[in-house]
Amino acid sequence: MRTSFAIALKIKAKHGILQKFIDEMNWTQSDFARALGLQQSIVGLWFNMQDYPRSPETMEKVCRLIGKAPEEIFPKFLSDPKFLGMKKKWTLYREVDLEFLPFNEVPELEYTPDMDSFDVKDKIAKVLKTLSPKEEKVIRMRFGLTDEETEHTLEEIAKKLIISRERVRQIEQEAIRKLQHSSRSRILECL
């Protein structure tokens, strides 16, 4: 009887102080941006540690809102171009006790001698082609499946597609619903 199961965890580094603050306030990044009177896409870059507030006025607003000193929230290394350019997404592989998995029954895994021979990108592309062109574009941009491999916010996608942020959210939800259908999810089962 199996007692553990191998899983892959996709981890994206976040700015701990900012994230903890919005979690405690029960806010989203958008709520935080609204409280500062800024665009969510700018604030999103701070949360993903891809940028920092450059104007003293903005830095002062953030510090006042959170109640911490600038050096605590945005230490010097955050402004280093080498740090800003670093990849901040990782995949961790580990064994997890079955009791912690969100289901009671563990599916039997098919033995495949050479998992690396699967062309993951082709399978994903095949499934995404079953969506409408707009749905495909939204999913690719939202989950970093484009050539640049960066995840975009609803706001950024809305600007590129010249539609509202709410419409992007609706398109994303519809596309995800379609992707969960057994005819599509079966293709991605072994990934």
DSSP string, 7-63: EEEEEE---HHHHHHHHHHT--HHHHHHHHT--HHHHHHHHTTS----SHHHHHHHH
Find out if CATH 3.40.640.10 is the number for domain 114-188. no
Which CATH code for domain 11-85? 1.10.260.40
CA atoms of 17 and 33, how far apart (whole Å): 15
User: Which tokens hold the place of 50?
Assistant: 């891809």
Give residue limits of the domains in the chain. 11-85, 114-188
Q: Is the pTM of this model over 0.75?
A: no
CA atoms of 145 and 122, how far apart (whole Å): 12
Q: What pLDDT, in 10s, does the model give residues 119-153?
A: 667 777 888 888 899 999 999 888 888 777 688 89
Q: What pLDDT, in 10s, does the model give residues 45-85?
A: 888 877 888 888 999 999 999 999 988 888 887 777 777 77
Q: Per-residue pLDDT for 158 more than 90? A: yes
